[in-house]
């Protein structure tokens, strides 16, 4: 690895640590340079603005998220079992250290940059990469009865987020006080009570 690339990675690592600790707005380029062991000029040679550096960090973190396999609808497997597998996969992502780290760094910045929220919303992660086609296939097979698949997909994921992700993000709960298995079971039960075909 070239020295220039090593320096760039050191700057990204330093900025990520400082943004996580203090937020983007309360971190200066001087602090980032000091933490990275680089001159301020070197930092600006790699990243013209702090905003550019922030987006580079966000892109790197999103690329490093462990997206599990895509789950496709299987007509020969019980729909409850399939939805449970999807929910388990999503909960693993939502409670992972990497995902929570991204969320903490991005959340405060979204208050200052509303367009960032739209950008992140357009970046499908976890089961949102495949949930709508899955539900549509289950619909076509007569297993589910859903009029608005996009709404149903959000209901499923937001239910999980409400109980396992946001309490951790905001510090309302610690992981040891959560009951993810119960949340998954109830989420699947509620979803099927509304959408399972008669």
Q: Torsion angle, CA of 38/44/49/53, rounded to 10 degrees?
A: -50
Per-residue model confidence (pLDDT) at position 176? 72
Q: What is the mean pLDDT of the chain?
A: 89
Cα–Cα distance for residue pair 86/133, rounded to 1 Å: 13
Residues of CATH 1.10.10.60 domain(s) within the chain? Answer: 3-62
Which one, of 104, 115, 100, lies nearest residue 164 by Cα? 100
Q: Determine the 3-state secondary structure of 93 from DSSP.
A: helix
d(CA 47, CA 51) in angstroms, rounded, equals 9
The answer to whether 36 and 13 have CB atoms below 8 angstroms apart is yes
Query: Token digits for 132?
Result: 């709508």
Closest CA to 126 of 50, 60, 62: 62
**Summary count for the chain: helices (H), strands (E):** 11, 0
pLDDT of residue 163: 92
Segments of the chain assigned to CATH 1.10.357.10: 68-195
Q: How far apart are CA 146 and CA 95, in angstroms?
A: 28
Contact 71, 134 (CB under 8 A): yes
117 band by pLDDT with thresholds 50, 70 and 90: low
Distance CA 162, CA 186 (A): 13
> In the prediction, which pLDDT does 18 show?
92
Paired tokens of 118: 């739209």
- By C-alpha distance, which of 83, 89, 101 is closest to 169? 101
Any idea which fold 68-195 has? Tetracycline Repressor; domain 2 (1.10.357)
The region of weakest confidence among 46-50, 72-76, 131-135, 178-182 is 178-182
Average of pLDDT values for 147-156? 96
Residue 123 has pLDDT above 70, yes or no: no
Task: Look up the CATH number of domain 3-62.
Answer: 1.10.10.60
């Amino acid at each position: 690895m070239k020295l220039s690339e090593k320096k760039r990675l050191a700057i990204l690592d330093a900025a990520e640590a400082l943004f996580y600790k203090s937020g983007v707005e309360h971190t200066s380029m001087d602090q980032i340079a000091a933490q990275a062991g680089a001159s301020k000029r070197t930092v600006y040679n790699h990243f013209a603005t702090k905003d550019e550096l922030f987006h580079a960090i966000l892109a790197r973190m999103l690329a490093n998220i462990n997206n599990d396999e895509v789950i496709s609808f299987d007509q020969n497997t019980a729909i409850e079992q399939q939805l449970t597998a999807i929910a388990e996969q999503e909960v693993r992502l939502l409670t992972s250290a990497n995902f929570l780290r991204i969320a903490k760094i991005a959340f405060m910045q979204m208050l200052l940059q509303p367009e960032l929220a739209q950008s992140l919303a357009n970046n499908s992660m976890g089961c949102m990469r495949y949930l709508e086609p899955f539900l549509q296939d289950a619909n076509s097979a007569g297993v589910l009865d859903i009029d608005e698949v996009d709404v149903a997909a959000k209901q499923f994921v937001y239910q999980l987020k409400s109980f396992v992700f946001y309490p951790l993000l905001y510090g309302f709960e610690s992981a040891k006080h959560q009951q993810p298995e119960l949340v998954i079971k109830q989420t699947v039960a509620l979803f099927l009570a509304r959408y399972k075909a008669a």
